[in-house]
Amino acid sequence: MAALAIGSASALWWWAGTEGSLTKALRWAGQWQPLTFEQATGSLRAGGRVERLRWQQDGMTVTAQDVSLAWQPWSLLNGTLKLDRVAAARVEVTDERPALPAPTAPPMALALPVRIVLQEFSVGQFEYAGRSAASASAIAGSYRYTGLQHRLDLNSLQVANGRYSGRAALTSAGPLTLEASLSGALAVDIPNNPTPLPLAFQATVTGPLTELVLKAELQGTAASPAGATPPAPQPLASATARITPWAAQALAQADASFRGLDLSSLLPQAPRTQLTGSASVRPLEGSSPSWTAALQLVNALPGPWDQHRLPIDKLDAQGEWKNGTAMIRSLKAELAGGELLASGQWLPAPPAGKPATGSVALHDWQLKATLERINPAQLHTQLAPLPLDGRAEASGQGASVRFDASAQAASG
């Protein structure tokens, strides 16, 4: 019996090293899994290449083109799956599955039956199509599972015109703890400027999965113009957040600050700005998701809209989101040589057959504003330079909008 077992194992090992064994193994796999392939070459023992692989089940389709694999099957005798290389020229994922309810509790463990060493993986182009769409290219890195920890090293990732790298480590036994970082460089096109603006991005996420701390920073990398007085400030934005995914309030805290931020460097259609300020979000007590929000900013580069500027010098706003209703408690803006005060609220339409209730029963949204000494010419250069005082009220329900306004020349 021992001789027979040894002989069978030797024959299997010899067969696994022959050309065509990979094709045969894929055919066997297709009998047990919804897997199809085209034009496979190589051996099961040494690895090989597959022109096209497709896996499809329950509305999910994954297609990989020009797939290559190299691995060390002997490593399984030591309880380790060791892969030298897994690569694909293109991977497409189509997700047509119905939306699933979010898990009500975090996973207790993420252990695997064997240790894994993936020394190198790469994907030339990745496309995802589902309820949202995403694409990336030049993906490369490595992965290791030690039995105690999952570790991913991302050597390169390109999304749009940005290149990123990072690493992540996640424990496999509870309480699951994550330590991840991501850094990158991107070049942003600026209107009327042939030279893109280089930006640097850094972010970290740390802590147990039940209470993660996020920190992120975006900063310009170009040097200030020589001889500038004062030196031009480099764009800088930083943010911190505490995230509790399985709590009643998933966003436990968020703060952001920015300095010298030019919106047109991030969105080409946005006006040129030089914004300095801060924003914060805090949860309200209660079981339903609700938050307060505050925003303060100063714009050192105000100007009319038609000159691709933002006609706001200073803004201070306080708001709230509660029970599906967004409210602007107060908004004070210094703009166009005057002042704007505003408040308002918005709520989704009530379900069919149920009338709306409360102070906004007739409207899905309301806005009230008062103006004092606003110079229209500073909003748009084609308007008359006559300072105005006034008031405006607007409301809407679905496609129906009501608007009432009055204005007069400012006194004095």
> Which of the four pLDDT bands, split at 50, 70 and 90, describes residue 3?
low
3-state SS assignment for residue 23: helix
| Structure confidence by residue, pLDDT tens digits, 86-116 | 999 999 999 998 888 877 888 899 999 999 9
Same domain, 134 and 260: no
DSSP E strands: which ranges in 96-229? 115-129, 133-145, 149-159, 162-171, 177-190, 193-208, 212-220
Q: What angle do CA 322, 323, 327 make, to 5 degrees?
A: 40
- Asked if residue 287 is part of any domain, the answer here is yes
pLDDT for residue 261 is more than 80 = yes
pLDDT for residue 135 is more than 80 = yes
Same domain, 387 and 282: no
**Which residues lie across from 110 on neighbouring strands?**
none
Same domain, 284 and 210: yes
Give the pLDDT score at 409: 84
Q: Which helix (H) or strand (E) holds 122?
A: strand 115-129
- Asked if residue 1 is part of any domain, the answer here is no
Give the pLDDT score at 167: 98
- Asked if residue 338 is part of any domain, the answer here is yes
Separation CA 328–CA 344 (nearest Å)? 5
| Structure confidence by residue, pLDDT tens digits, 269-286 | 788 899 999 999 998 876
Name, in order, each residue with C-beta under 8 angstroms of 183's C-beta and a sequence gap of 6 or more: 164, 165, 166, 200, 201, 202, 203
Give the pLDDT score at 219: 82
Tokens of 23: 């094709």
Phi, psi of 310 (to 5 degrees): -105, 120
Same domain, 31 and 151: yes
Domain coverage including residue 54: 25-98+105-174
**Which stretch, 9-18, 174-183, 345-354, has highest mean pLDDT?**
174-183
- Asked if residue 10 is part of any domain, the answer here is no
pLDDT for residue 213 is more than 90 = yes
Give the pLDDT score at 214: 96
Same domain, 166 and 50: yes
Give the pLDDT score at 117: 96
> What is the pLDDT averaged over residues 65-84?
90
Same domain, 92 and 161: yes
Same domain, 256 and 337: no
Give the pLDDT score at 149: 96
> Which of the four pLDDT bands, split at 50, 70 and 90, describes residue 16?
low
The proportion of the chain whose per-residue pLDDT surpasses 70, expressed as a percent, equals: 84
Tokens of 81: 């799956």
Separation CA 368–CA 129 (nearest Å)? 41
Give which of 206, 292, 205 is closest to 249, Cα–Cα: 292
- Asked if residue 2 is part of any domain, the answer here is no
Choose between 55 and 221: higher pLDDT.
Answer: 55
Separation CA 90–CA 92 (nearest Å)? 7
CA distances from 223 to 184, 227, 349 (A): 18, 12, 50
| Structure confidence by residue, pLDDT tens digits, 290-303 | 889 999 999 999 99
Same domain, 289 and 308: no
Choose between 8 and 84: higher pLDDT.
Answer: 84
Same domain, 53 and 153: yes
Return the number of other C-beta atoms located less than 10 Å from residue 226's C-beta. Answer: 6
- Asked if residue 15 is part of any domain, the answer here is no
**Which stretch, 20-24, 122-126, 327-331, 379-383, has highest mean pLDDT?**
122-126
pLDDT for residue 230 is more than 50 = no
Same domain, 252 and 280: yes
Separation CA 342–CA 14 (nearest Å)? 80
| Structure confidence by residue, pLDDT tens digits, 366-409 | 889 999 999 999 999 998 888 888 998 888 877 788 888 888 88
Give the pLDDT score at 290: 84
> What is the pLDDT averaged over residues 219-230?
56
**C-beta of residue 310 within 8 angstroms of C-beta of residue 297:** no
Separation CA 199–CA 308 (nearest Å)? 22
- Asked if residue 43 is part of any domain, the answer here is yes
* Domain final position from 265, 295, 325: 295
Rg of the chain (C-alpha set): 29
pTM of the entire predicted model:
0.76
Same domain, 201 and 60: no
Return the number of other C-beta atoms located less than 10 Å from residue 24's C-beta. Answer: 14
Separation CA 228–CA 79 (nearest Å)? 63
| Structure confidence by residue, pLDDT tens digits, 152-210 | 999 999 998 889 999 999 999 989 999 999 999 987 766 666 777 788 889 999 999 99
Alpha-helix residue ranges (DSSP H) falling in 75-178: none
Separation CA 394–CA 330 (nearest Å)? 16
| Count of the separate structural domains present in the chain | 3
Span of 117-131, 205-219, 230-244, 260-274 with lowest mean pLDDT: 230-244
> Which of the four pLDDT bands, split at 50, 70 and 90, describes residue 231?
very low
Choose between 7 and 389: higher pLDDT.
Answer: 389
Is the peptide bond prior to 302 cis by the omega test (within 30 degrees of 0)? no
- Asked if residue 148 is part of any domain, the answer here is yes
Same domain, 325 and 384: yes
Give the pLDDT score at 90: 97
**Which residues lie across from 317 on neighbouring strands?**
295, 331
